[in-house]
Amino acid sequence: MNDGFDWDAVGESLPLLLEGFKVTLLATVLGTVVAAVLGLVVAVAGRAPSRFVTAPVRLVTEFVRSTPLLVQLVGAAALFNTVEPLYIGITVLGVHYAAYTSEVYRAGIDGVPKGQWEACRALSLSPRRTWQAVILPQAVRNVLPALGNYAISMFKETPFLAVITVQEMVFEARKYGAEQFAYTEVFTLAGLIFLVASYPTSLLMRKLEKRLGH
Amino acid sequence: MATEPLPLKKTESPGPAGAPEDAVPAAGSPGGPLVRFDKVVKRYGDHVVLDELDFTVDRGEHVTLIGPSGSGKTTILRLLMTLEKVTDGVIWVDGAPLTHVRTPDGSLKPAGEKQLRESRKKIGMVFQQFNLFPNMKVIENITEAPVSVLGQSREEAETRARELLDLVGLSAKVDAHPSQLSGGQQQRVAIARALAMEPEILLLDEVTSALDPELVAGVLELLEDIARNTDITMLCVTHEMNFARDVSEKVLMFDAGRVVESGSPEKIFSNPSHERTREFLNAVL
């Protein structure tokens, strides 16, 4: 092990890390899609008139929220050991975050004024059109920045996927570090890549928030 | 604008001159009252808003509900629009129970959401706060329900929406969003939106209360126009006594969930027989 900072290791590991970064990005994007869609379904189902719908939905979201992501990942990987780890990772990330995005949606839906619901009823709109044409477009617009922030959080939690052998960036960094005894260099680099990717995205989100008038 | 006929369909219907109001089965027979409140009770917990309320509205009639705040006027409109449920009693519209269905043995049970949606189609409402859909353009606000509820084609609905916007004097705002309009303009769009559903009954809930004073007259003129040139039955809660005088044939004075006095505007305004009516009119006029 050398004492100084090994710049060669940085140059050498960069392509590997970028290769892993592609997986990181893929997991984040697909995980966000799952979380965004599933969260919405959960939020709407949570408003169903029947307790037979709302009770199980609440139970599952409480379970997901009360257990660590890492435990869910390992558990799911053990349960579905024939499935490609990346798919499990994406699904677990998506489901985990759906438990939170559903709350965001719920708040967004609650934020739509009561008068909007009443106008829908006065016009005899079906429940479907009420949600689709009136409530959700307004609710989603309200929660877009919050959803974006969850996407950034998820991005920073993708390294957990390494535990179930998904070859994302941190998995690659660990492998390289172990082989070349260059942990400092490779993890510094990985950290920088995370920073470079997430900081501009946060700025973008803040801009979006401002534009939507929050 | 007032001289031209409105682009609204006049339906063939027996006029207001019908059976006497108190004939019990009249609610179901043609020519009877279009709306009948039959011992309607509305309670929120212990608070009684409407107390065994009975009143009728004839077809084509324009009725103004007046009375102090908290007297239950708005609740009546909200019950008719089925935004609230009656605690007891039955509301009849066009001879059918509004929020109930008949069971095979002839008794009435509360209707489900689907039946309520069917009942609502005859009734339109304009709200104090306009309640336009901010995510839609003006024209989409008007065409949404005719397309998705009445099954009109988009072209048909848009043609009609443009006619209605012309009627309310907002042809230039077809593609605007509600947030780009003044309160008065928003309320005109809301009126056009309600009319697009071709309601038999139009409920107007303090439609000028949220408007700047200089915008009130325009909206009232429009409503007077509609009242004169269509056969839409109108129930109107308002503090605009001039409107009540100019538009309605009947004024109902409410207090504490009951009708304390009813009659023609001339009678109510110039010669009220009830002490509460006198007090109220002295306070507002």
Q: What are the C-alpha distances in Å from A129 to residues A119, A121, A133, B19, B176?
A: 12, 11, 5, 41, 22
Q: Give the chain B residue nearest A138 (alpha carbons).
A: B135
Does residue B128 surpass a pLDDT of 80? yes
Q: Do A133 and B197 touch (CB under 8 A)?
A: no
Other beta carbons within 10 angstroms of residue B39's beta carbon come to 13
Contact yes or no for B39/B87 (Cβ under 8 A): no
What was the pLDDT predicted at A164?
92
Q: Do A118 and B193 touch (CB under 8 A)?
A: no
**Average pLDDT for B147-165:** 96
Distance of CA A62 to the CA centre of its chain: 17
pLDDT tens digits in sequence order for chain A, 214 residues long: 456 788 888 888 899 999 999 999 999 999 999 999 999 999 999 888 888 989 999 999 999 999 999 999 999 999 999 999 999 999 999 999 999 999 999 999 999 999 999 999 999 999 999 999 999 999 998 898 889 999 999 999 999 999 998 998 999 999 998 898 888 989 999 999 999 998 988 898 888 888 876 5
Contact yes or no for B136/B193 (Cβ under 8 A): no
What was the pLDDT predicted at A208?
84
Q: Give the chain B residue nearest A49 (alpha carbons).
A: B113
- How would you class B112 by CB atoms within 10 Å of its CB: exposed for 0-12, middle for 13-18, buried for 19 or more? exposed
What was the pLDDT predicted at B15?
43
Q: Do A123 and B145 touch (CB under 8 A)?
A: yes
Look over chain B and give the mean of its residue pLDDT values, rounded to a whole number: 87
**Average pLDDT for B178-196:** 95
- Measured between CA atoms, how close is B23 to chain A, in angstroms? 30
What was the pLDDT predicted at B41?
93
- Measured between CA atoms, how close is B259 to chain A, in angstroms? 25
Which of chain B's residues have a Cβ under 8 Å away from the Cβ of A134? 133, 135
Q: Do B124 and A122 touch (CB under 8 A)?
A: yes
pTM beyond cutoff 0.90? no
Task: Give the DSSP H or E segment for A69.
Answer: helix A69-79
Q: How many angstroms separate the CA atoms of A118 and B78, rounded?
A: 10
Q: Give the chain A residue nearest B134 (alpha carbons).
A: A138
Q: Do B145 and A134 touch (CB under 8 A)?
A: no
Residue of A114, A120, A123, A142 to mutate, interface with B, max B Cβ within 10 Å: A123
Q: How many angstroms separate the CA atoms of B15 and B58, rounded?
A: 8
What was the pLDDT predicted at B30?
56
Other beta carbons within 10 angstroms of residue B277's beta carbon come to 23
Q: Which residue has the tokens 């890492």?
A: A70
Strand B250-255 to B233-237 pairing: unpaired
Out of A121, A125, A141, name the one closest to residue B148 (CB): A125
Look over chain A and give the mean of its residue pLDDT values, rounded to a whole number: 91
Q: Do A124 and B132 touch (CB under 8 A)?
A: no
- How would you class A30 by CB atoms within 10 Å of its CB: exposed for 0-12, middle for 13-18, buried for 19 or more? middle
* ipTM (interface pTM): 0.86
B14-51 per-position pLDDT tens digit: 444 444 444 444 444 556 899 999 999 999 988 989 99
Q: Give the chain A residue nearest B201 (alpha carbons).
A: A122
Q: Give the chain B residue nearest A113 (alpha carbons).
A: B131
Does residue B123 surpass a pLDDT of 80? yes
Q: Do A124 and B144 touch (CB under 8 A)?
A: no
Q: What is the largest CA-CA distance in chain B?
A: 56
Does residue B162 surpass a pLDDT of 90? yes
- Measured between CA atoms, how close is B232 to chain A, in angstroms? 16
Sign of the alpha-carbon torsion through B226, B229, B231, B234: positive
Q: How many angstroms separate the CA atoms of B280 and B283, rounded?
A: 5
Does residue B132 surpass a pLDDT of 90? yes
What was the pLDDT predicted at B169?
92
Q: Which residue has the tokens 């697909």?
A: A30
- Strands (E) in B169-212, as ranges, are 201-205
What was the pLDDT predicted at B12?
46
Share of chain B above pLDDT 70, in %: 89
- Measured between CA atoms, how close is B149 to chain A, in angstroms? 6
Q: How many angstroms separate the CA atoms of B263 and A178, rounded?
A: 93
Contact yes or no for B239/B206 (Cβ under 8 A): yes
Contact yes or no for A24/A169 (Cβ under 8 A): yes
Out of B129, B135, B145, name the one closest to residue A138 (CB): B135
